[in-house]
Structure 1
Amino acid sequence: MIFRTIISACAFVLLPAIAFADPTGSYKVAGTSEDGSKYQGTVKVLRNGETYIVDWMIGKNESIGTGLGAKFSGDRFEMGPASDEDTAISVGYVSKENFGIAMYFEQPDGSWQGVWTYGGSEKVASEIWTRE
């Protein structure tokens, strides 16, 4: 009985540190552009066979991307078909004016933090996705 109580208590304490995985869902987005300006919006991530569809809405501007997933396995990342175990996602995207790449990693609190850039840029911008 005491052993079960200790195990249950340990699981409860460790629970906040366990990642939620699976990047699919709807998120609020907060970011900083390469020029330092702040922005907010939404992003939806859907699984599409072995890839992801990523659809951002920042103000009235929409960007659409295709993503590839990865998960941490032991001491390395394992890449493969999109999975509900993915803890990283890499996205190529297009917007009205340009194209770009982005990479996101799941954080212990369940948010996804990443960086992005667009074609021809010399700078990197940042973004955080928080589940709605």
Structure 2
Amino acid sequence: MIFRTVISACAIVLLPAIALADPTGSYKVAGTSEDGSKYQGTVKVLRSGSTYVVDWMIGKDESVGTGIGAKFSGNSFEMGPASDKDTAISVGYVSKENFGIAMYFEQPDGSWQGVWTYGGSEKVASETWTRQ
């Protein structure tokens, strides 16, 4: 009886992690720019063929990106077409002022944490996506 309870508890704990692997969806964004200033906004991630479309709204500023995914397989990352099993996403983006790159990894709580920079910068900034 105790064994069955432990197995059931483990299954309940693991199911949310498995279900959340897909990076598509709508998120609240909280970040820190390279100059240390804080910002908030939203981001939407959609799968489009073998890639992702990533659309940020920070205040009145929009940035749009194209992403590729990856998932941990054995002892390494497996990169390839966008998949609902992806636990990492790499994005190139453009905004009205610049272009840049970003990389995000799924966290155990279902959020996505990442870093980003823009063209010509020598610094890295951070960002967290929390599902809405």
Paired residues of 1:17 and 1:108 also in contact (CA < 8 A): no
Partner Cα distance (1:16, 1:7) in 2:
12
- Give unpaired runs (5+ residues) of structure 1: none
Structure 1 position 18, deviation (Å)? 2.9
Partner Cα distance (2:90, 2:38) in 1:
22
Structure 1 length-normalised TM:
0.93
Q: Which amino acid in structure 2 is aligned with residue 51 of structure 1?
A: T
Paired residues of 1:16 and 1:108 also in contact (CA < 8 A): no
Number of equivalent positions:
131
Partner Cα distance (1:16, 1:31) in 2:
28
Match of 2:76 in 1: 76
Structure 1 position 76, deviation (Å)? 0.6
Partner Cα distance (2:30, 2:15) in 1:
22
Structure 1 position 15, deviation (Å)? 2.8
The CA RMSD measured in Å over matched residues stands at 1.6
Partner Cα distance (1:128, 1:16) in 2:
22
Match of 2:104 in 1: 104
Moved more, 2-11 or 79-88: 2-11
Structure 1 position 7, deviation (Å)? 1.7
Q: Which amino acid in structure 2 is aligned with residue 15 of structure 1?
A: L
Structure 1 position 3, deviation (Å)? 4.3
Partner Cα distance (2:103, 2:96) in 1:
20
Name the % identity: 85
